């Protein structure tokens, strides 16, 4: 319920003002011929092969086979019409005299019927003068028959398919599977420059010299300098990696080849490598140019065979490494790649001479967030109440895509309200929509539930107000939201911080647990409403013990490491099971101490807790100013007058 704006990095759009560039598939603008063509060709080849098998078999044997009932065979025998009979496995094969003695060029039929234990059959055939044969396999003719009937057609089909796939593997053929499907953006189409990229000054500075080299290569080659082969853009999703790559091409005024790492990989082995060759060939023809490979981890993962490899991906990676070594950087072909997972990339891809530089495109700081908001707000009509710095301060941890979404949500809210300009209230509502979702108007709480939520949220806010090292309250609400919250307290820091000390983190833990403490003090029972608070508090306490060295038991030991830093930031334990048990006890004692601290603070300020909760129950939403005004009427007892020392972990 006590929400915090920390990890808002799960959006996919990029910051900046660039529109959707007009794009052409490949350099010649031809349409890809993908579709049912491959399936039709395979079906045709299979049908031709089966037809060839039947034809060869017919030519070799010179006859066709026809099954008949035993009665029909017996009638032919009685009427003296049977010429020869051959016993073969479980059947009787026979020919008729009228077909054998015919002078017309007709196909001779060999009839067959099932074997039946008829003891009168052989004596009758002897009386009729029928030639009786037993089947003796002829090894020579069987081998020839096998070769012509089965081996030869399959070899023909194999050769046909090899020729077909080799053609498409070289980029030709019907569908052009081996052709690179990189999109080319011309400068006039892209319309993106460094002015459209906000909040990433360090990343832009790292690429300015690349742009200068593409503009003035002779200035560098005259002194013997070479353009770096490439650069790797690393950062969380939504921070603007793709936009920065487009801006580099837009500033330099050169062709921009853009594609994702997954575009190289197909079901056919060798196609990815062929596409890499085609991509670099096209780029060098149009040099100076920029090749941008988004999500390069799709093909650039470390070649680790311990758990099985992927031949197609590894062939594609090997070809990419080979091409990066082979092309002449003095011609002005520069490679930009982007990823959220640099730790999984192959070391050979990151060595000097390939992706020479690593450029961090991280979440923007306060100044950067203000700049990003201004970029996205430049085409949106704002009224005089708008203060973008206040919004930027409240959105610590937001990436460019989150901020762009907020501006858009605010504009939509203004239109819905029938106003001609966006107000600060619209922006605050947009921030809440991104944090907690839209108001869930169809969820009606009972009186008891509503009262419980009110006390819970006021518990958070009251502890925040009476403690040191806490962030001011901006808003308290008990209106349910679509992201599952029944209410929340919005806190806005007075200034942006990059470090937190132990006292501040213990204060944060106490604030998180104050909602549950208020429930227990007032109602004598607890509810499920504190689930998110407990999850956040446990995660923070674990980090204090295992990563930040804030535990008396372990001191400065690092007991966990972070994987996927730019995605989920998953922590991986690097200690024994016995140590993990001690860690759990440390976390439990730390949370117990902070919970006891919250209960004591609320108990000493019970009158203020009841008064503010009653007001919130009636109004449902109150501002931070209203909260502080009501609190001042009750003469709150600050923390230093209740507890002399910071609470330590409970024993």
CATH number assigned to the domain comprising residue 469: 1.20.58.760
Q: What is the pLDDT of residue 450?
A: 93
DSSP 3-state assignment of 272?
Answer: helix
Output the six-digit token pair for 648.
């330590």
Q: What is the pLDDT of residue 305?
A: 59
Q: Catalytic positions, please?
A: 457
Q: What is the pLDDT of residue 646?
A: 45
Highest mean pLDDT among 121-125, 397-401, 603-607: 603-607
CATH number assigned to the domain comprising residue 342: 3.40.50.300
Q: Is residue 537 part of a domain?
A: yes
Helices within 361-501 (DSSP H only): 366-377, 388-394, 400-416, 424-436, 447-466
Output the six-digit token pair for 419.
């106003």
Contact 279, 182 (CB under 8 A): yes
Residue 194, C-beta contacts closer than 8 angstroms, at least 6 positions apart:
204, 247, 251
Does 61 lie in the same domain as 145?
A: yes
Q: Is residue 6 part of a domain?
A: no
Q: Is residue 425 part of a domain?
A: yes
Q: Is residue 417 part of a domain?
A: yes
* 352-367 mean pLDDT: 87
Q: Is the pLDDT of residue 335 over 60?
A: yes
Q: Is the pLDDT of residue 15 over 80?
A: no
pLDDT band at 308 (very low <50, low <70, confident <90, very high): low
Does 371 lie in the same domain as 356?
A: no
CATH number assigned to the domain comprising residue 161: 3.30.720.210
Highest mean pLDDT among 17-26, 72-81, 507-516: 507-516
Does 469 lie in the same domain as 409?
A: no
Q: Is residue 3 part of a domain?
A: no
Among the candidates 122, 149, 169, a domain finishes at 169
**In this predicted model, what pLDDT tens digit does every residue of 474-529 receive, in sequence order?**
899 998 887 778 888 988 887 778 889 999 999 999 999 999 999 999 999 999 99
Q: What percent of the chain has pLDDT over 70?
A: 77
Which residue has better confidence, 49 or 7?
49
Q: Is the pTM of this model over 0.75?
A: no
Q: What is the pLDDT of residue 28?
A: 39
Among the candidates 138, 169, 200, a domain finishes at 169
Domain range for 600: 447-641
Q: Is residue 651 part of a domain?
A: no
Does 117 lie in the same domain as 62?
A: yes
**In this predicted model, what pLDDT tens digit does every residue of 539-575 receive, in sequence order?**
999 999 999 999 988 989 889 888 877 777 788 888 8
The secondary structure element, H or E, covering residue 292 is: strand 289-294
Among the candidates 345, 360, 375, a domain finishes at 360
Q: Is residue 295 part of a domain?
A: yes
Output the six-digit token pair for 626.
């209203």
Taking Cα atoms as reference points, which of 297, 184, 195 lies closest to residue 244?
195
Q: Is the pLDDT of residue 602 over 80?
A: yes
Q: What is the pLDDT of residue 650?
A: 44
**In this predicted model, what pLDDT tens digit does every residue of 628-644 receive, in sequence order?**
999 999 888 877 666 54
Q: Is the pLDDT of residue 180 over 80?
A: no
Does 607 lie in the same domain as 584?
A: yes
Residue 258, C-beta contacts closer than 8 angstroms, at least 6 positions apart:
182, 183, 184, 185, 242, 245, 246, 292, 294
Q: Is the pLDDT of residue 279 over 50?
A: yes
Q: Is residue 17 part of a domain?
A: no
Does 419 lie in the same domain as 281?
A: no
Does 518 lie in the same domain as 460?
A: yes
Computed over every residue of the chain, the mean pLDDT equals: 79
Taking Cα atoms as reference points, which of 225, 244, 223 lies closest to residue 233?
244
Q: What is the pLDDT of residue 60?
A: 52
The CA-to-CA distance between both ends of the chain, in Å, stands at: 28
Taking Cα atoms as reference points, which of 50, 63, 23, 321 lies closest to residue 184?
23
Does 373 lie in the same domain as 356?
A: no
Does 511 lie in the same domain as 375?
A: no
Q: Is the pLDDT of residue 50 over 70?
A: no
Taking Cα atoms as reference points, which of 461, 403, 495 lies closest to residue 636?
461
The secondary structure element, H or E, covering residue 489 is: strand 488-491
Does 301 lie in the same domain as 160?
A: no
Does 523 lie in the same domain as 633?
A: yes
Domain count, the chain: 4
Instruction: For residue 223, count other CB atoms closer than 10 A to its CB.
Output: 7
Does 153 lie in the same domain as 68?
A: yes
Instruction: For residue 179, count other CB atoms closer than 10 A to its CB.
Output: 24
* 593-603 mean pLDDT: 95
């Amino acid at each position: 319920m006590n929400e915090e704006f920390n990890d808002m990095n799960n959006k996919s759009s990029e910051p900046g003002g660039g529109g959707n560039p007009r794009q052409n598939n490949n350099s010649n603008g031809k349409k890809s011929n993908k579709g049912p063509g491959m399936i039709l060709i395979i079906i045709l080849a299979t049908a031709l092969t089966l037809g060839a098998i039947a034809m060869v078999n017919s030519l070799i044997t010179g006859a066709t086979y026809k099954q008949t009932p035993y009665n029909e065979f017996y009638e032919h025998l009685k009427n003296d019409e049977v010429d020869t009979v051959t016993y073969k496995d479980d059947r009787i094969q026979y020919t008729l005299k009228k077909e054998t003695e015919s002078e017309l060029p007709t196909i001779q039929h060999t009839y067959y019927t099932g074997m039946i234990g008829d003891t009168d059959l052989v004596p009758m055939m002897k009386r009729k003068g029928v030639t009786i044969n037993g089947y003796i396999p002829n090894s020579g003719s069987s081998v020839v028959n096998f070769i012509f009937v089965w081996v030869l057609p399959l070899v023909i089909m194999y050769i046909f398919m090899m020729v077909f796939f080799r053609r498409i593997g070289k980029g030709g053929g019907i569908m052009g599977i081996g052709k690179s499907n990189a999109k080319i953006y011309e400068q006039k189409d892209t319309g993106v420059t460094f002015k459209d990229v906000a909040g990433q000054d360090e990343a832009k500075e790292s690429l300015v010299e690349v742009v200068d080299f593409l503009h003035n290569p002779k200035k560098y080659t005259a002194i013997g300098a070479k353009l770096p082969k490439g650069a790797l853009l690393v950062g969380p999703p939504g921070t603007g990696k793709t936009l920065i790559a487009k801006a580099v091409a837009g500033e330099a005024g050169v062709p921009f080849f853009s594609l994702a790492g997954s575009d190289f990989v197909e079901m056919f082995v060798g196609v990815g490598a062929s596409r890499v060759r085609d991509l670099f060939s096209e780029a060098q023809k149009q040099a100076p140019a920029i090749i941008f490979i988004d999500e390069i981890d799709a093909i650039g993962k470390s070649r680790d065979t311990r758990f099985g490899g992927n031949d197609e991906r590894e062939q594609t990676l090997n070809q990419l490494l080979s091409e990066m070594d082979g092309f002449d950087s003095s011609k002005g072909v520069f490679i930009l790649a982007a990823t959220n997972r640099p730790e999984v990339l192959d070391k050979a891809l990151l060595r000097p001479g390939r992706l020479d530089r690593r450029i961090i495109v991280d979440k923007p700081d306060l100044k950067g967030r203000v700049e990003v908001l201004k970029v996205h707000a430049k085409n949106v009509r704002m009224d005089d109440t708008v203060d973008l710095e206040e919004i930027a301060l409240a959105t610590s941890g937001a990436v460019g895509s989150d901020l762009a979404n907020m501006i858009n949500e605010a504009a939509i809210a203004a239109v819905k309200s029938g106003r001609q300009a966006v107000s600060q209230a619209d922006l605050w509502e947009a921030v809440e929509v991104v944090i907690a979702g839209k108001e869930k108007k169809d969820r009606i709480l009972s009186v008891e539930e509503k009262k419980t939520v009110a006390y819970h949220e006021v518990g958070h806010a009251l502890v925040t107000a009476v403690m040191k090292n806490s962030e001011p309250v901006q808003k308290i609400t008990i209106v349910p939201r679509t992201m599952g919250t029944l209410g929340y307290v919005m806190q806005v820091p007075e200034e942006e911080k990059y470090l937190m000390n132990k006292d501040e983190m213990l204060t944060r833990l106490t604030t998180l647990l104050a909602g549950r403490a208020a429930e227990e003090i007032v109602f004598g029972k607890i509810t499920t409403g504190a689930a998110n608070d407990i999850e956040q508090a446990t995660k923070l306490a674990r980090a204090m013990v295992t990563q930040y060295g804030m535990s008396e038991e372990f001191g400065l030991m690092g007991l966990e490491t972070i994987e996927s830093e730019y995605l989920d930031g998953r922590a991986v334990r690097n200690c024994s099971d016995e140590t993990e048990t001690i860690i759990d006890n440390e976390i439990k004692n730390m949370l117990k101490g902070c919970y006891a601290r919250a209960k004591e603070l609320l108990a000493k300020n019970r009158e203020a807790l009841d008064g503010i909760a009653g007001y919130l129950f009636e109004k449902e939403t109150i501002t931070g100013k209203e909260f502080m005004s009501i609190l001042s009427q009750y003469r709150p007892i600050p923390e230093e007058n209740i507890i002399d020392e910071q609470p330590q972990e409970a024993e």
